[in-house]
Amino acid sequence: MPKAIDNLNNLKKNSVTRRLGHTTLCLLWPLFLIACPRSAPPDGGNVGVSTQPAKVSPVVPGAVAFNGERAMAHVRKQVDIGPRPPGSPELAKTREYIVNELKSYGLTVSTFEFAASTPVGEKKMVNITAEIPGESNDVVILSSHYDTKFYKDMHFVGANDPGASVGTLIELGRVLSGNGQKPKFTLWLVFFDGEESFCEGWDECGKPGAPDNTYGSRNYVSELKSKNQLDRVRALILLDMMGYSNLELGRDTMSTKWLQDIIWQTARELGHGSVFVDRPEGVGGDDHEPFLRAGVDAVDIIQLNSYRYWHTPEDTIDKVSARSMKTVGDVVVASLPRVEQRLSSKSR
């Protein structure tokens, strides 16, 4: 909480604190934390555009609360299915599970199939979209990939990559469609196929304009363009590898700053400043990239460099925690009204 310490120092300069002394300061500490974010955001008010950013609360009274155990059940289901690379019957089974879950919450779900030419031949891929209608026709996308990386000689079940982000996104579908309140913007929950490269390395087999990765998100953007729908998409929030029990999320250096600031600030206000930390996270490419290239503001919530089980047989369910998924779920739910508020006052 570096920012909060700055406030304390400022206060120290003025007479009040000089009289109080150190011990009293510690007692008052939580008051500063409670008082500051509401009245004056510690980072100089970069967060909200209007003077009064939307109040932060993980749960609106009477609303559905994000349930980490439910998200965990979705992770377990995927892991039980086994390795789920693009074009596999296991991924088709996972897709059926995701679609049925989302439909059971009353969401309108559509799938889009396309053929991708990959280093291991042509692969049938399918993107999934679930819609929560909003007051506006403009769209905010919440997303995750749902394929696991293809390995010939490794039993890779991808509990955190992408089991946890898929489980969190399904549970967000239940929460955001269940709170009986129409969101300001239409929400699309999108599950991308083909995020992972078929060759070992992300850039190993790519050609100019045809990388061996992000097949689903690239197809999604080109479909939006061909249907003149891209303008509707005002922002994208991507979840990837955010379920590790020892969760620490740095700031992806590619992501759109205002969007990232809102989420990190909201996390701090919810007491998750030690999870959403202010150190840079170099990701070097993920499903938000095709959207950024197309001019859509996008943020990637990902723990990559400090997840040592990445793309190993040890990326198993014991590494994933319901609590980590609930932390991210709560922060996303609480951040959305602020994102919508910012977009409402922001020209395209």
C-beta closer to Zn ion: residue 53 or 85 = 85
Minimum distance, C-beta of residue 295 to Zn ion, in the bound complex (Å): 26
C-beta closer to Zn ion: residue 7 or 305 = 305
Which residues contribute to the site for Zn ion (CB under 5 A)? 161
Minimum distance, C-beta of residue 198 to Zn ion, in the bound complex (Å): 12
Let me know if 110 is exposed, middle or buried by CB neighbors in 10 A (0-12, 13-18, 19+).
exposed
Chain Cα centroid distance, residue 61: 24
- Residues 6 or more apart in contact with residue 319 via CB below 8 angstroms: 159, 160, 243, 244, 245, 309
Minimum distance, C-beta of residue 119 to Zn ion, in the bound complex (Å): 16
C-beta closer to Zn ion: residue 165 or 341 = 165
Minimum distance, C-beta of residue 241 to Zn ion, in the bound complex (Å): 7
Q: Which two tokens stand for residue 230?
A: 């891209």
Task: Give the Cβ contact number of residue 42 at 10 Å.
Answer: 20
Chain Cα centroid distance, residue 307: 16
Minimum distance, C-beta of residue 118 to Zn ion, in the bound complex (Å): 16
C-beta closer to Zn ion: residue 161 or 297 = 161
CA 324/CA 54 separation, integer angstroms: 24
C-beta closer to Zn ion: residue 311 or 323 = 311
C-beta closer to Zn ion: residue 255 or 303 = 303
Which residues in 106-240 belong to E strands, given as ranges? 108-118, 121-132, 136-145, 185-192, 233-240
C-beta closer to Zn ion: residue 161 or 269 = 161
Minimum distance, C-beta of residue 196 to Zn ion, in the bound complex (Å): 5
Return the residue matching tokens 């202010």: 278
Sign of CA pseudo-dihedral 206, 210, 214, 216: negative
**Helix, coil or strand: residue 240:** strand
Minimum distance, C-beta of residue 285 to Zn ion, in the bound complex (Å): 11
CA 196/CA 311 separation, integer angstroms: 10
C-beta closer to Zn ion: residue 114 or 151 = 151
**Helix, coil or strand: residue 283:** coil
Q: Which residue is nearest to Zn ion (CB)?
A: 161
**Helix, coil or strand: residue 228:** coil
Minimum distance, C-beta of residue 201 to Zn ion, in the bound complex (Å): 12
Q: Please, what's the b/e burial string for 3-34 (b: 16 or more CB within 10 A of its CB; e: otherwise)?
A: beeebeeebeeeeebeeeeeeeeeeeeeebbe
